[in-house]
Structure 1
């Protein structure tokens, strides 16, 4: 039996398919099955597909639908999407990419790691070990171009967002918010707890793929020293 989902309009030129709202690889697999299936159809009406933790937004060209005689356009598109989502069990998801992302957890780059360790009465090395022991799934990118939302961190690392966001979080900063971990691709205000930094560029307008991570990727953080961090940073 397929997991339950609902399909609703989102504005006048988008539809959202929503599954049970939880961070769960099984739910996300349904999102990605539908995402890849719709992408493979190369529909002339679809202009964008946006996967998230437990939903898929389908943006379409309502003007083109109307000119093609599909009226009322929203109702036609809703019916078409509903038909496509019916049987995702026979659709394959491409094998996920496995990314090893270097991460420096030196307190000079990780302004919240010392407090996180102290609040748990553990050493900083324990925080590092907990964060690097998990292979994370990239569930979506958003907030900033290329910001990967990943999960789940182990229960010992779960931490609410900061009550007072910072006005400036450096690009490459690795943060935790609730059960999620993520990487700031550009310098930005932010309220996640910063426990490290990667020297890799997570977003580049000149790269063939501007976003370093994409939904479905599997990510493992590899701890590096501050010296190695600086060396990689200079090579970017």
Structure 2
């Protein structure tokens, strides 16, 4: 068919001219379509570039905000880290002191436990000794109680005998008291009579004492006279 169309165009100049025009028109339409397509693509490309630029600006803004946030987070993290390190140092120091106190407390507790065990052993030994001593004392006490009972019975018998003797002595003394009372009643009149003569007796005693003094003075004078006589 193409060869047929070419043959027809070759045979008629007018047809050939129309054909050329058609070809040129088709080429122009294609160029126009290509140009329009290129313009449309350029417009879309500009829009895409503008959108991309806006996106880039937004990304830069987000990046700047993220950078500021990151710096704030880093500063906060550093602050938290420093605070945590300070607290960790304080906790470590407290823990070290607590360990030292724990060791000291453990040593003191161990010493107290050892001392308590030693005292417990001593108490157990003393308890055993006390039990043995109690048993010995119990046996000795039984023997002592028997001996004490015998001695107490003997003492009671002796006391009973002494009571009987005392009762006899009291009875005898009562009789003696009655006799003395009777004799006293008999001597009362004579005592009263002696009491009446008591002033005379006192006067006689004073006279005797004065006479004795006079005799003593006479004896002294006699001795003095004898001494003088012997000296001459």
Structure 1-normalised TM-score? 0.09
- Greater length-normalized contact order (CA 8 Å, ≥ 6 residues apart): 1
The structure with more helix, counted as a fraction of residues: 2
Q: Which has the larger radius of gyration?
A: 2
The structure with more strand, counted as a fraction of residues: 1
